[in-house]
Amino acid sequence: MSVSYEGDLKEVLAQINQRLERIEQKTGSLKEDINDLKVGQARLEEKVEELTKRIDSQEFVVESSLG
């Protein structure tokens, strides 16, 4: 009787192992996607900062010419 349980247990463990491997692969892909998003966000933040500086300098020029 223990032989049939042992065989069933091996099957169940093999299936669990396969699912864990798939989850691990998806997690790796998600990590890459998150990294890409972080890089993109950093680039956007840099561009926003540059644009903010340009706008600030434009406001200074406009205020100077009005005064």
Tokens 């434009």 sit on residue: 58
Number of H helices, E strands in the chain: 1, 0
pLDDT of the residue at 57: 85
For tokens 């890409």, what's the residue?
36
CA distance 37 to 57: 30
- Provide the residue-wise pLDDT of the chain in tens; the chain has 67 residues: 455 566 788 899 999 999 999 999 999 999 999 999 999 999 999 999 999 998 888 876 666 676 6
